[in-house]
Amino acid sequence: MLDRRFIRDNPEQIKQMLADRGLAYDLDAFLAREARRRDLITHVETLQAQRNEASEKISRMKKNKEDAAAEISAMREVGENIKRFSEELKILEEGIEAELLQIPNLPHASVPRGPDAAANREVRTWGQKPVFMFTPCPHWELGEALGMLDAARAAKIAGARFVVYRDVGARLERALIQFMLDTQTQRAGYMEIFPPLLVNRDAMIGTGQLPKLENDMFKTKDDDFYLIPTAEVPVTNLHRQEVLSKEQLPIKYAAYTPCFRREAGSYGKDTKGIVRQHQFNKVELVKITQPDESYKELEALVQDAENILQALQLHYRVVVLSTGDMSFASAKGYDLEVWHAGSARYWEVSSCSNFEAFQARRANIRFKDDDGKIKFCHTLNGSGLATSRLLPAIMENYQTKDGGIQIPEVLVPYLGGKHMITPNGKLG
RNA sequence: GGAGAGGUGGCCGAGUGGUUGAAGGCAGCUGCCUGCUAAGCAGUUGUGCCCCUUCAAAGGGUACCCAGGGUUCGAAUCCCUGCCUCUCCGCCA
């Protein structure tokens, strides 16, 4: 959510932003409603002041045993007017608030302008695509052959876009999660969080998933709960409605959670393998910072995510998202894309964003600055990382000619000291 | 699921339908004082929004005693609904 005062004072900049993001929106109508709102407030508060003054007088008269009947009946009409205009104000305010929740964040000046992903800019790459003396298999074939992934039985118990991790597959998944959490908490200084996987509507609004993405979320039928699409939601909202001290900042959290997404509208897309599932595992990094440090922290966050890929010796590239491709709440974002040798393409394995005060304003996360003023924090988050894109990268990039998989060095301690998944699907 | 208790300022805690932003205490801040620490005295201490200004500050107004409704000239105080916390019982991992 943007600051209404900022919108009022900078309408041209907002219009440009909406155009950059490819949105048609009648900002002038919004500004007119906002002006009407302020008029109404002035009107209502004038009446309230009048009422307060009269109340004091009535109270005084009663104390002196004077007759206040005239004053009381005069105030009856004022009271009714207050009620009437307050109601109008409330309806107007709710409408404005609802619209405010629909306006996306303002992109940072360094974000490339462009209508879609084609305008994204590659920032850097790391490592090399692995070279094979044979044709590398995609992970879904490897997973089935080695008994690591079972899509058919997952369909039986849940449906399409689910997978069962099996035997060494389950073990490798768990090892990855633990390795990532250990790295982020022990090396990079994040505090581990394991949050609820069901959250209320306010939390979803706080981080910006709602009201826009209602159709992308799983929700419970009898209670007003949503399954989290990312740990960003519960973790960022930990500090909703709080005023933090400056000494607490930056707050750095790392959370492993399953993530749940309906993937509505993606029918027939990415149906092979585990890259697009209704449920997947992710370690998420969340930061809450002072405003003037958030961009420095964004770069550090990206580095923390990259460190996982580097430790696993996986080739990847870093892309800065353009105005047309960045997410609704983001002011600037980078995607980390890891190479999958089997499908011979890059896959987004992490998305790191600085939301500036956009989420903080929605969730009301503030801090007390040195000047004693209370200001909005900046929030950031990034995957560190998603296993549904990472596990395939390992399987495909580390596969051997005989049909086995070599285990990346850093994971060996997490897999009982074993260095290989043998062609019969066992650790060896 | 059943029964009961409760939600007041940074914290503890009082509160009558009418100068209550809210007694008192603690903590914090500012002065004064005492030759260190302590004690004492006086003052001060929230947030949102609107207006007016503005580089900023100050100022004026209004709202906020869990949330949302209602009664009333007037509600922290009365009524209704919801949420949350605690205790006991039941159930359960």
**A311 and A403 share a domain?**
yes
Q: Name A residues 90-109 whose Cβ lies under 7 Å from strand B.
A: 90
d(CA A105, CA A378): 13
**A16 and A144 share a domain?**
no
Strand B reaches within 7 A of the A248 CB: no
In sequence order, the 6+-apart residues with CB closer than 8 A to the CB of A87 are none
**A280 and A149 share a domain?**
yes
Q: Which residue out of A21, A171, A261, A362 is catalytically annotated?
A: A261
Domain boundary among A44, A69, A100: A100
**A268 and A340 share a domain?**
yes
Size of chain A, expressed as the number of residues it contains: 428
Per-residue pLDDT tens digits for A187-197: 999 999 999 99
Residue A397, domain extent: 117-421
Q: Which nucleotide is nearest to A59 (CA to C1')?
A: B18
Strand B reaches within 7 A of the A76 CB: yes
CATH of the domain at A51: 1.10.287.40
Determine which helix (DSSP H) or strand (DSSP E) holds A317, and give its type and residue range: strand A316-320
Residue A105 counted as domain residue: no
In sequence order, the 6+-apart residues with CB closer than 8 A to the CB of A298 are A332, A334, A352, A353, A354, A380
**A62 and A124 share a domain?**
no
Residue A171 counted as domain residue: yes
**A220 and A362 share a domain?**
yes
Residue A59 known to be catalytic = no
d(CA A198, CA A402): 44
Task: Count Cβ atoms below 10 Å from residue A144 Cβ, excluding itself.
Answer: 16
**A343 and A211 share a domain?**
yes
Q: Which nucleotide is nearest to A34 (CA to C1')?
A: B50
- Per-position pLDDT tens, chain A of length 428: 999 999 999 999 999 998 888 888 899 999 999 999 999 999 999 999 999 888 888 888 887 777 778 888 888 888 889 999 999 999 999 999 989 999 999 999 999 999 899 999 999 999 999 999 999 999 999 999 999 999 999 999 999 999 999 999 999 999 999 999 999 999 999 999 999 999 988 899 999 998 888 889 998 887 888 999 999 999 999 999 888 888 888 999 999 999 999 988 777 788 899 999 999 999 999 999 999 999 999 999 999 999 999 999 999 999 999 999 999 999 999 999 999 999 999 999 999 999 999 999 999 999 988 887 889 999 999 999 999 999 999 999 999 999 999 999 999 999 999 999 999 999 98
Nucleotides of chain B within 7 Å of a protein C-beta?
18-19, 47-51, 61-63, 69-70, 72-74
Residue A111 counted as domain residue: no
The three-point CA angle A213-A365-A3 to 5° equals: 70
3-state DSSP of A76-140: HHHHHHHHHHHHHHHHHHHHHHHHHCCCCCCCCCCCCCCCCHHHCEEEEEECCCCCCCCCCCCHH
Strand B reaches within 7 A of the A55 CB: yes
Residue A389 known to be catalytic = yes
Residue A108 counted as domain residue: no
Instruction: Tell me what ipTM this predicted complex has.
Output: 0.87
**A415 and A290 share a domain?**
yes
Q: What is the pTM of this model?
A: 0.92
Strand B reaches within 7 A of the A41 CB: yes
Strand B reaches within 7 A of the A38 CB: yes
Contact A371, A278 (CB under 8 A): no
CATH of the domain at A258: 3.30.930.10
Q: Which residue out of A330, A343, A351, A388 is catalytically annotated?
A: A351
**A160 and A42 share a domain?**
no
Strand B reaches within 7 A of the A313 CB: no
Q: How many domains does chain A have?
A: 2
DSSP class per residue in A210-274: TTTTGGGS-B-SSSSEEE-SSTHHHHHGGGTTEEEEGGGPSEEEEEEEEEE---TT-TTSS-STT
Strand B reaches within 7 A of the A241 CB: no
Domain boundary among A73, A100, A127: A100
**A175 and A305 share a domain?**
yes
- What is the C-alpha R_g of chain A? 27
CA-to-C1' span, A369 to B33 (A): 33
